[in-house]
Amino acid sequence: MGFLSNLPLIVSGPLLLAALVSISLLSLNWFRKHKLPRLRFGEGDPEFSAAMVASIMVFYGLATALIAVNVWEVHEKVKDIAKHEAASLAVLYRDVSEYPEPVRTVMREQIRAYTEQLIHDAWPMQRRGQVPTEGVQLMHAFQSTLMHFEPTNEAQKVLAVNTLAAYNEMLRSRRLRLDSVERALPGLLWWVIVLGAVISLVSAFYFPVVDAHVHRAQVGLLAAFIGLVIFMIMALDRPFHGDLGVQPHAFEIIYQQLMSD
C-alpha cells in the first residue's frame, strides 16, 4: 500500500479499484474454466456455499469496520490536537503581548518565527512522514527569554505565571502532535485486511452460477465494494499524509489574525 498511499487520492482510488476488480475477474474466469467444472455440487451445496460466504463476509466486514472506525477516530484526535496547539499558541502570543519592552518584541518575534517555521517547513515534513526538529531550537530560545524575565510588580508576576502555563500547554500539544506523525496501522492489520479481501473474493467463486456474466457482475461488485473500504482505510491511515491529512489551517488563521501586524 506504500506506493498507492503516495499518490493523490484521485489517482490512487480508481487505480486500487481497477486493479482489485480486474484481478478478481481474471481469477474468476480462470477458476470457472479450470476448477469449477471439476467440482461436484449436491442438492444443498449452493445453500451451504452461500452460508459460508455470508459468514466470511460478516467476520471480514466486522474486522474492517473496527479498523476503519479506529483509523477515523485517530485522524480526528490528531486534528483536535493540532487545533488545541494552535489555540495554546494564540493564548501564549496574547500573553507575551502584555510584557514590557523590549522583552515583548523579542518574544513576539520568536513566536512568530516558530509559527512560520511550523507552517512552511514542519508541516510539509510531517506530510512526508518525517518528524520535524527545527522547532526545538526556536522553542529553546523562547523559553530562555521567558525564564530570564524578572517581574517587577504583582501584575507582572501573575502574567508570568499565566504565560508559563500557556507555554507548557502548547509544548504538551506539540509533543502529542509530533508523536502522531509516524502513527499508522501495524503491518499485521494490513495483512488481515488484504488476506481477508482475498479470502472473501475467492469464496464467491464457489457458486455454480450458470450465466458467467451474472457471476462476473456479482464478483466485480463485491471486489469494488471491498476496494472502497480498503481505499478509505488507506486514505485515513496516516493522520498527516495525503490529501485528507491534517492541515495547518488553525495555525494559518492565528498567524494572519494575530501575528501578521
Note whether residue 194 is domain-resident. no
What are the C-alpha distances in Å from 35 to residues 38, 122, 206, 207?
6, 55, 9, 11
Radius of gyration (C-alpha) of the chain in whole angstroms: 27
| pLDDT band, residue 83 (cuts 50/70/90) | very high
Mean pLDDT of 67-93: 94
Note whether residue 209 is domain-resident. no
Note whether residue 86 is domain-resident. yes
pLDDT confidence of residue 1: 59
CA dist 168 and 143 (Å) reads 10
Note whether residue 139 is domain-resident. yes
Mean of per-residue pLDDT scores for the chain: 89
Nearest Cα residue to 6 out of 177, 229, 237: 237
pLDDT tens profile 86-130: 999 999 999 999 999 999 999 999 999 999 999 999 999 998 888
pLDDT confidence of residue 45: 63
Note whether residue 238 is domain-resident. no
pLDDT tens profile 189-211: 999 999 999 999 998 888 778 88
pLDDT confidence of residue 3: 66
pLDDT confidence of residue 152: 86
Lowest mean pLDDT among 7-11, 23-27, 145-149: 7-11
Domains of the chain: total: 1
3-state secondary structure of 150: coil
Note whether residue 64 is domain-resident. no
Q: Which has more confidence, 49 or 68?
A: 68
CA dist 134 and 122 (Å) reads 8
pLDDT confidence of residue 115: 94
- Residue 136 buriedness (CB in 10 A; 0-12 / 13-18 / 19+): exposed
| pLDDT band, residue 19 (cuts 50/70/90) | very high
Which residue range forms the structural domain that includes residue 178? 81-184+246-261
pLDDT confidence of residue 7: 76
> How many helices (DSSP H) and strands (DSSP E) are in the chain?
10, 0
* Contact assessment for residue 13 and residue 243, using Cβ atoms and an 8 Å cutoff: no
Note whether residue 138 is domain-resident. yes
pLDDT tens profile 160-195: 999 999 999 999 999 999 999 988 889 899 999 999
pLDDT confidence of residue 206: 83
Task: For residue 23, give every residue at least 6 positions away whose Cβ sits within 8 Å of its Cβ, in sequence order, or none.
Answer: 223
Mean pLDDT of 1-5: 65
Note whether residue 119 is domain-resident. yes
Grid coordinates of 166: 500557556
Long-range (24+ apart) CB contacts under 8 A made by 252-259 are 252/119, 253/86, 254/86, 254/87, 254/89, 254/90, 254/93, 254/115, 255/112, 255/115, 255/116, 255/119, 258/90, 258/93, 258/94, 259/93, 259/108, 259/111, 259/112, 259/115
CA dist 108 and 97 (Å) reads 7
Phi first, then psi, for residue 248 (nearest 5°) are -85, 35
Output the pTM of the full model. Answer: 0.84
Percent of the chain with pLDDT over 70: 96
* Contact assessment for residue 141 and residue 254, using Cβ atoms and an 8 Å cutoff: no
| pLDDT band, residue 78 (cuts 50/70/90) | very high
CA dist 159 and 174 (Å) reads 22
pLDDT confidence of residue 10: 86
